[in-house]
């Protein structure tokens, strides 16, 4: 509100200052006078210069720079300029229209100025962000504390993962045929953001499992992450092989779709993803992410997906009943917010007593992020990582999710 | 809220500039005194608004408000306060805002101090300034808005180019902008004069102080820029004929020519059309410079922006401003009546000579700057036009200018006797011969050094002779001379100082180019290198943590037989946020020259790479520049530019008494 008062005050001040000469009843006397005969003023201005040039000549004579003869010639030249100026201005003023005391031009000009200023206000409404307050760093101590907290959470998590990697490596040196061990090592390395090292682990797992489709999918993902998200020929080959296996790992179809998209074939990608979502088990946590992808791609490319997505597969696991949703639509925004809050609180309470529910934790983190409660989301991440500290695979999953929804920075 | 007030003020300044670009022309053509009184108010308001938005942006920088995208991209909390402030213009958006603020500052200043101008001329000048302001404010709002916001601001910014974190570079853009944006006033006067169809001595006198002020600022800005290059880039060079440097040098050459040709209009009512042309040219060069730097056509430390839409926009503005004004010139200039006649050998003739050569010099710089760009655009071939081209063209053009500079001020108006003038310069010629012989005896050459020193002596002594003649030094008792000196118009002192400053610059350039000694070597701690009588010893190396950088500081002890020991502490810094290294040279300046040391990295054997320079006379260059600036200021304070506004009472007095 204050800002509007200030902006209005600025506008009025500007308008008042500019238009002052127009609204004045009659010229005030003194230096600011607006003389009626402007021909005289113009001559005054020229005369001031030439008079000064004449006196300069006098000073030059005094200094002995000019002889009397030269000074005379110079004086005549300046006097001729004075005559010229006078003549020019007089002749010009004869052709001039007489200006009425109140000319319509003045009114039009005043209106134009006001219209311009209003136009400026309109442009500001379009470009400006009057709703955003200043955010000087001194006022953001709380945020800084939160970030520091998040960093400590993050470093705890990395400690857990690093320990897991070194333990697993030790075990695998003694028993290199431990298939599960290679898988865990690969997953931990992926969570630590070391996809190239994870590739070796997954390759071992593929060898030991006789090219099992699930391991092929994990390997493909590590290749893609190692190539900054690009699906290269190797990764595509691995994915195609995995697709012919009996693996139901959703990553296979997802990345094959992404590969289509990277080749420019968005329609094929959308087809593949829709099939993936429609075949997905009801409570798959990755469905919303893929649905979002589909919607984005469809919007960007103008592909009509109306009715193609299986509505029942909408991402509502153990969520509110249809009745709840129907009620929510009739609520005021405040009431709706309250209902969502109470549902989230319920979930958090349940997880306190029954922590062994990885999907529940994931949903809690997502819910907090949707509500904008980053701190709570970070706490949930920390707790979940603590509960499942002995299962690096799950920690890795939480980590990937946290990155995806923005709890921790990428 | 302050940020948003700044944004609003910027947008409001656009519409006020729009009014400023239209109403005053209407008022002037209808000669409506009330509307004429509105014109200066528009210019003053426009400045107040742009100034407000500039202050708001500065506030955002000072308080590290990263919800402003511009602050986020160019600042950092760990930066020292001074660089938070200078960071405002050390980026594309902010520097454009500074550009426009200075433009409107000049517009506002003309409006505020323009009471001695006829109201219709003032209104038209203000109107032209408004037209330029509209173009550039629109440019800022549409392509480079510094008030763009970030909804979820990070907690720290991305930092600022460390090369620009230096006091010299920090204050040089405002000076440079005051300089080349200052020529917009001369441009506006020229366009207004073309519209009014009148150019006369009074006009020349009104436009002169603005041109002079712009020239002073531009001289200072160029000097500061080259000084910064000298000590910050760590190669001991101070001018690289870099296109961005040329961009500031071209308006300087055109502006210097304008300054001189305007004298002829003022004193003799001649050279009018040419002067108008130069005024258009000087500002066109400024716009060209802005285009080259801001469009990203050039990549250099100055070119923050590489957004093609910005380049196209400025190119468009350039075409409108330059094309429009030149078209107006072609249409109206033939109607300007010529004034006083003069012989080729006269003060006017000398000034024409100066003008022609300065213009050719500017054209050469233009060619050398644009040719590589054009060639690359057309054929894709990259060439670099560097020092050899400019040495081969610029030096031969400027030599006659400098020789003639000693003659010019000694020549009377209308017609002069060349032999008589030459007689007065006998002492200068003798001094030149003596200095050349001394130089030959002391240094043994090279030839260009003898030539350069001779040229400098000729101009220095010639300038002093003219001044001494005016105050009759040694020809009258000293007291009389002193009195005459006090009575001399300040512009006469200004001429002498500015010309003498040029002489000292020439001497500095010559000396440093001819006699610089340098050596690059690896030194262990305690080891020494010998350069031109000096022994440089690397005494110590230490590392320390600065506010936003880590530095390696070397202690170099320099001993010279028969002189005091000098200790220099050059540094190599790495700015942590940006991850960029910079060199901070250690420099000891004295009257005779500089000792300059740079510390580099460690080589494989663990020794330190060091570069040492002994550069005779190089401080003379900046001293000369300072003297030129001082001369300009002296001239600016001349009483004839301080004629007050005519008042009614003065007018009646004027009719009775012709002279005051």
- Render pLDDT for A140-159 as a digit per residue (tens, 0 to 9): 888 788 878 877 777 877 88
Token digits of residue A152: 């400590």
Q: DSSP letter at B149?
A: B
Q: State the Rg of chain A over Cα.
A: 40
Q: What percent of chain A is modeled with pLDDT above 90? A: 10
User: In the structure, what pLDDT confidence band is assigned to residue A311 with cuts at 50, 70 and 90?
Assistant: low
Given B165, B183, B212, the domain boundary residue is B165
Q: Residue A305: which of A319, A295, A313 has the closest Cα?
A: A295
B34 and chain A: CB distance < 8 Å anywhere? yes
Token digits of residue B631: 């001369």
Query: Which residues have CB under 8 Å from B658's CB, separation 6+?
Result: A51, A54
Residue of B nearest to A46 (CA): B202
A18 and chain B: CB distance < 8 Å anywhere? yes
Q: What is the pLDDT of residue B595?
A: 85
Asked if A116 and B19 come within 8 Å (Cβ–Cβ), the reply is yes
A16 and chain B: CB distance < 8 Å anywhere? no
Same domain, B235 and B353: yes
Q: What is the pLDDT of residue A94?
A: 57
Q: What is the pLDDT of residue B640?
A: 65
* Mean pLDDT on B460-469: 85
Query: How many domains are there within chain B?
Result: 3
ipTM value:
0.81
d(CA B170, CA B82): 9
Q: Which residue has the higher pLDDT, A128 or B657?
A: A128
> Which residues numbered 404-423 in B keep a CB inside 8 Å of some CB on A?
412
Q: In chain B, what is the greatest distance between 2 CA atoms, to the nearest angstrom?
A: 90
Neighbours of A145 (CB within 10 A): 11
User: In the structure, what pLDDT confidence band is assigned to residue B539 with cuts at 50, 70 and 90?
Assistant: confident
Same domain, B208 and B345: yes
Q: Do B67 and B153 form a contact (C-beta atoms < 8 A)?
A: yes
Same domain, B138 and B70: yes
d(CA B235, CA B613): 9
Q: What is the pLDDT of residue B278?
A: 92
Q: What percent of chain A is modeled with pLDDT above 70? A: 82
d(CA A110, CA B35): 9
> Which residues numbered 239-258 in A keep a CB inside 8 Å of some CB on B?
none
d(CA B344, CA B416): 9
Three-class DSSP labels, chain A: CHHHHHHHHHHHHHHHHHHHHHHCCCCCCCCCCCCCCHHHHHHHHHHHHHHHHHHHHHHHHHHCCCCHHHHHHHHHHHHHHHHHHHHHHHHHHHCCCCCCCCCHHHHHHHHHHHHHHHHHHHHHHHHCCCCCCCCCHHHCHHHHHHHHHHHHHHHHHHHHHHHHHHHHHHHHHHCCCCHHHHHHHHHHHHHCCCHHHHHHHHHHHHHHCCCCHHHHHHHHHHHHHHCCCCCCHHHHHHHHHHHHCCCCCHHHHHHHHHHHHHCCCHHHHHHHHHHHHHHCCCCCCCHHHHHHHHHHHHHHHCCCCCCCCCHHHCCCCCCCCHHHHHHHHCCCHHHHHHHHHHHHHHHHHHHHHCCCCHHHHHHHHHHHHHCCCHHHHHHHHHHHHHHCCCCHHHHHHHHHHHHHHCCCCC
Distance from chain centroid for Cα B422: 33
Q: CA–CA distance from B133 to each of A94, B19, B87, B317 (Å)? A: 35, 11, 23, 11
Query: Which residues have CB under 8 Å from B389's CB, separation 6+?
Result: B241, B368
Interchain CB contacts (distance < 8 Å): A and B: 212
B564 and chain A: CB distance < 8 Å anywhere? no
Q: DSSP letter at B319?
A: I
Same domain, B34 and B111: yes
Same domain, B211 and B344: yes
Q: What are phi and psi of A198, to 5 degrees?
A: -65, -30
Q: Do B455 and B523 form a contact (C-beta atoms < 8 A)?
A: no
Q: How far is B382 from chain A (nearest CA, A)?
A: 34
In this structure, of A179-188, A370-379, B260-269, the range with the lowest mean pLDDT score is: A370-379
Residue carrying structure tokens 């000034």? B351
User: Per residue in B60-94, is it b (16+ CB within 10 Å) or e — as a string?
Assistant: bbbbbbbbbbbbbbbbbbbbeeebbebbbbbbbbb
Same domain, B111 and B216: no
In a domain, B221, yes or no: yes
B480 and chain A: CB distance < 8 Å anywhere? no
Q: DSSP letter at B359?
A: H
In this structure, of A380-389, B32-41, B352-361, the range with the lowest mean pLDDT score is: A380-389
Residue B294 has pLDDT above 80, yes or no: no
Query: Which residues have CB under 8 Å from A51's CB, separation 6+?
Result: B654, B658, B659, B660
In this structure, of A24-33, B139-148, B505-514, B642-651, the range with the lowest mean pLDDT score is: B642-651
Q: What is the pLDDT of residue B174?
A: 87
Q: How far is A407 from chain B (nearest CA, A)?
A: 14
Same domain, B49 and B103: yes
User: Per residue in A244-255, is it b (16+ CB within 10 Å) or e — as a string?
Assistant: ebebebbbbbbb
Given B165, B183, B215, the domain boundary residue is B165
Asked if B41 and A17 come within 8 Å (Cβ–Cβ), the reply is yes
Q: Give me the helix-helix angle, B490-515 and B447-470, nearest 10°.
A: 170
Q: Give me the helix-helix angle, B387-407 and B447-470, nearest 10°.
A: 30
Q: What is the pLDDT of residue B631?
A: 92
Q: Residue B38: which of A253, A194, A105 has the closest Cα?
A: A105
In a domain, B498, yes or no: no
Interface test with B, best of A45, A105, A114 (most B CBs within 10 A): A45
Q: CA–CA distance from B172 to each of B50, B225, B283, B451 (Å)? A: 21, 6, 19, 32
Q: Do B157 and B229 form a contact (C-beta atoms < 8 A)?
A: no
B31 and chain A: CB distance < 8 Å anywhere? yes
Asked if A63 and B487 come within 8 Å (Cβ–Cβ), the reply is yes
Give me the residues paired with residue B537 across strands. Answer: B528, B557
Same domain, B92 and B146: yes
Q: Do B46 and B136 form a contact (C-beta atoms < 8 A)?
A: no
Distance from chain centroid for Cα A33: 55
Give me the residues paired with residue B559 across strands. Answer: B535
Asked if A55 and B645 come within 8 Å (Cβ–Cβ), the reply is no
In a domain, B191, yes or no: no
> Which residues numbered 186-205 in B keep a CB inside 8 Å of some CB on A?
198, 200-202, 205
Same domain, B288 and B372: yes
Average pLDDT, chain A: 79
Token digits of residue B84: 């938070």
d(CA A160, CA B632): 71
Same domain, B539 and B600: yes
Residue A323 has pLDDT above 60, yes or no: no
Asked if B33 and A88 come within 8 Å (Cβ–Cβ), the reply is no
pLDDT digits 0-9 by tens, A348-399: 887 887 777 787 888 888 778 777 778 888 888 888 888 887 777 788 888 8
Q: Which helix (H) or strand (E) holds B609?
A: strand B608-616
Same domain, B156 and B228: no
d(CA B522, CA B601): 9
A112: chain B residues, CB-CB within 8 Å:
19, 22-23
A133 and chain B: CB distance < 8 Å anywhere? yes
In a domain, B141, yes or no: yes
A21 and chain B: CB distance < 8 Å anywhere? yes
Residue B518 has pLDDT above 80, yes or no: yes
Q: Do A109 and B23 form a contact (C-beta atoms < 8 A)?
A: yes
Give me the residues paired with residue B534 across strands. Answer: B531
Domains and CATH numbers, chain A: 2-22+39-96+103-127 (no CATH), 328-410 (1.25.40)
> Which residues numbered 330-389 in B keep a CB inside 8 Å of some CB on A?
340
SS3 B588: strand
B42: chain A residues, CB-CB within 8 Å:
18
In a domain, B228, yes or no: yes
Q: DSSP letter at B323?
A: I
User: In the structure, what pLDDT confidence band is assigned to residue B146 with cuts at 50, 70 and 90?
Assistant: very high
B226 and chain A: CB distance < 8 Å anywhere? no
Domain range for B402 is: 200-308+321-414
Token digits of residue A44: 């005054």
B33 and chain A: CB distance < 8 Å anywhere? yes
Q: Do B409 and B499 form a contact (C-beta atoms < 8 A)?
A: yes
d(CA B399, CA B600): 39
In a domain, B588, yes or no: yes
Q: What is the pLDDT of residue A329?
A: 56
User: In the structure, what pLDDT confidence band is assigned to residue B467 with cuts at 50, 70 and 90?
Assistant: confident
Asked if B41 and A132 come within 8 Å (Cβ–Cβ), the reply is no
Same domain, B266 and B354: yes
Q: How far is B625 from chain A (nearest CA, A)?
A: 30
Q: CA–CA distance from A366 to each of A146, A324, A407, B216, B298 (Å)? A: 18, 19, 9, 63, 48
In a domain, B131, yes or no: yes
Residue B623, CB half-sphere, CA atoms under 13 Å: how many?
Answer: 17
Asked if A14 and B648 come within 8 Å (Cβ–Cβ), the reply is no
Average pLDDT, chain B: 84
Residue B121 has pLDDT above 80, yes or no: yes
pLDDT digits 0-9 by tens, B480-517: 888 878 877 888 888 889 999 999 999 898 888 888 88
d(CA A8, CA A14): 10
In a domain, B405, yes or no: yes
pLDDT digits 0-9 by tens, B169-197: 777 888 888 998 999 999 999 999 999 88
B51 and chain A: CB distance < 8 Å anywhere? no
Q: State the Rg of chain B over Cα.
A: 27
* Mean pLDDT on A25-43: 50
Given B603, B619, B635, the domain boundary residue is B619
Q: What is the pLDDT of residue B137?
A: 94
Distance from chain centroid for Cα B439: 32
Q: What is the pLDDT of residue B252?
A: 93
């Amino acid at each position: 509100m204050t800002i509007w008062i200030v902006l209005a005050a600025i506008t009025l001040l500007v308008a008042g200052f500019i238009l002052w000469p127009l609204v004045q009843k009659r010229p005030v006397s003194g230096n600011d006078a607006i003389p009626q005969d402007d021909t005289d003023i113009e001559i005054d201005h020229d005369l001031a210069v030439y008079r000064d040039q004449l006196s300069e000549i006098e000073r030059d004579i005094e200094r002995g720079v000019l002889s009397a003869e030269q000074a005379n010639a110079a004086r005549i030249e300046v006097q001729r300029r004075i005559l010229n100026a006078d003549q020019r201005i007089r002749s010009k003023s004869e052709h001039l229209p007489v200006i009425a005391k109140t000319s319509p031009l003045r009114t039009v000009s005043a209106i134009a100025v006001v219209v311009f200023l209003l136009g400026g206000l309109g442009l500001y409404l379009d470009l400006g962000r009057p709703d955003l307050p200043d955010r000087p760093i001194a006022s953001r101590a709380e945020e800084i504390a939160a970030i520091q907290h998040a960093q400590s959470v993050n470093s705890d998590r990395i400690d857990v993962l690093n320990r897991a990697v070194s333990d697993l490596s030790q075990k695998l040196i003694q028993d290199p045929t431990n298939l599960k061990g290679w898988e865990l090592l690969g997953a931990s390395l992926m969570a630590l953001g070391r996809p190239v090292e994870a590739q070796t682990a997954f390759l071992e797992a593929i060898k030991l499992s006789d090219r099992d489709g699930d391991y092929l999918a994990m390997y493909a993902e590590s290749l893609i992450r190692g190539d900054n998200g690009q699906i290269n020929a190797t990764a595509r080959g691995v994915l195609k092989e995995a697709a012919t296996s009996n693996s139901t790992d959703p990553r296979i179809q997802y990345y094959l779709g992404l590969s289509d998209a990277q080749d420019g074939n968005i329609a094929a990608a959308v087809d593949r993803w829709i099939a993936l979502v429609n075949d997905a088990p009801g409570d798959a946590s990755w469905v919303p992410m893929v649905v979002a992808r589909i919607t984005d791609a469809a919007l960007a490319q103008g592909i009509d997906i109306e009715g193609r997505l299986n509505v029942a597969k909408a991402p509502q696991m153990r969520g509110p009943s249809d009745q709840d949703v129907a009620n929510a639509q009739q609520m005021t925004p405040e009431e709706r917010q309250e209902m969502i809050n109470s549902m989230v609180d319920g979930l958090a309470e349940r997880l306190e007593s029954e922590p062994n529910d990885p999907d529940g934790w994931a949903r809690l983190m997502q819910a907090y992020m949707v509500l904008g409660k980053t701190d709570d989301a970070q706490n949930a991440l920390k707790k979940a990582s603590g509960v499942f500290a002995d299962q690096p695979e799950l920690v890795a999953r939480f980590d990937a999710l946290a990155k995806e929804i923005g709890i921790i920075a990428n | 809220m302050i940020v948003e007030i700044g944004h609003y003020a910027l947008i409001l300044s656009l519409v006020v500039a729009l009014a400023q670009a239209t109403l005053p022309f209407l008022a002037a053509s209808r000669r409506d005194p009330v509307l004429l009184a509105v014109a200066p108010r528009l210019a003053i308001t426009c400045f107040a608004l742009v100034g407000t938005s500039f202050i708001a942006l500065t506030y955002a920088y000072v308080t590290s408000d990263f919800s402003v995208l511009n602050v986020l991209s160019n600042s950092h909390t760990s930066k020292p306060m001074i660089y938070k402030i200078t960071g405002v213009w050390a980026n594309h958006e902010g520097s454009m805002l500074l550009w426009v603020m200075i433009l409107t500052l000049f517009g506002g200043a003309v409006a505020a101090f323009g009471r001695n101008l006829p109201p219709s001329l003032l209104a038209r000048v203000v109107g032209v300034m408004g037209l330029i302001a509209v173009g550039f404010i629109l440019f800022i709002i549409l392509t480079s808005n510094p008030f763009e916001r970030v909804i979820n601001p990070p907690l720290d910014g991305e930092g600022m180019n460390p090369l620009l974190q230096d006091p010299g570079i920090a204050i040089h853009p405002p000076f440079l902008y005051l300089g080349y944006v200052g020529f917009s006033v001369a441009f506006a006067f020229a366009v207004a004069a073309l519209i009014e169809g009148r150019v006369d001595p009074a006009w020349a006198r009104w436009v002169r102080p603005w041109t002079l002020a712009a020239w002073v600022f531009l001289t200072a800005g160029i000097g500061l820029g080259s000084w910064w290059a000298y000590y910050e880039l760590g190669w001991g060079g101070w001018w690289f004929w870099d296109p961005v440097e040329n961009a500031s040098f071209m308006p300087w050459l055109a502006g210097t020519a304008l300054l001189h040709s305007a004298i002829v209009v003022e004193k003799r009512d001649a050279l009018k059309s040419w002067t108008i042309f130069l005024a258009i040219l000087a500002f066109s060069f400024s716009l060209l410079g802005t285009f080259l730097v801001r469009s990203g056509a050039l990549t250099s430390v100055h070119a923050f922006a590489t957004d093609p839409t910005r380049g196209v926009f400025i190119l468009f503005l350039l075409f409108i401003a330059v094309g429009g004004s030149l078209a107006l010139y072609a249409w109206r200039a033939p109607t300007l009546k010529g004034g006083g006649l003069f012989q080729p050998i006269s003060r006017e003739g000398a000034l024409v000579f100066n003008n022609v050569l300065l213009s050719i010099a500017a054209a050469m710089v233009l060619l050398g700057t644009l040719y590589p760009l054009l060639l690359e655009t057309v054929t894709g071939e990259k060439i670099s036009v560097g020092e050899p081209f400019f040495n081969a063209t610029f030096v031969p053009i400027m030599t006659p200018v400098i020789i003639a500079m000693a003659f010019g001020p000694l020549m009377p108006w209308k017609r002069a006797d060349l032999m008589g003038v030459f007689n007065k310069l006998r002492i200068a010629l003798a001094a030149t011969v003596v200095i050349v012989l001394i130089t030959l005896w002391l240094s043994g050459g090279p030839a260009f050094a003898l030539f350069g020193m001779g040229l400098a002596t000729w101009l220095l002594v010639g300038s002093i002779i003219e001044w001494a003649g005016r105050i009759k030094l040694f020809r009258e008792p000293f007291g009389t001379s002193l009195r005459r000196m006090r009575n001399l118009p300040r512009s006469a002192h200004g001429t002498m100082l500015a010309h003498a400053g040029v002489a000292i610059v020439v001497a500095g350039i010559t000396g440093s180019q001819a006699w610089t000694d340098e050596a690059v070597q690896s030194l262990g701690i305690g080891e020494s290198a010998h350069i031109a009588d000096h022994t440089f010893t690397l005494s110590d190396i230490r590392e320390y943590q600065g506010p936003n950088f880590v530095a390696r500081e070397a202690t170099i002890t320099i001993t010279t037989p028969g002189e005091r020991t000098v200790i220099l502490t050059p540094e190599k810094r790495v700015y942590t946020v940006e991850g960029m290294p910079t060199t901070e040279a250690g420099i000891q300046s004295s009257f005779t020259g500089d000792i300059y040391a740079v510390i580099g990295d460690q080589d494989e054997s663990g020794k330190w790479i060091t570069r040492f320079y002994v550069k005779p006379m190089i401080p003379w260059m900046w001293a000369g520049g300072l003297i030129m600036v001082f001369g300009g200021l002296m001239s600016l304070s001349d009483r004839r530019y301080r004629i007050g506004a005519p008042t009614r009472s003065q007018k009646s007095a004027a009719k009775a008494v012709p002279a005051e």
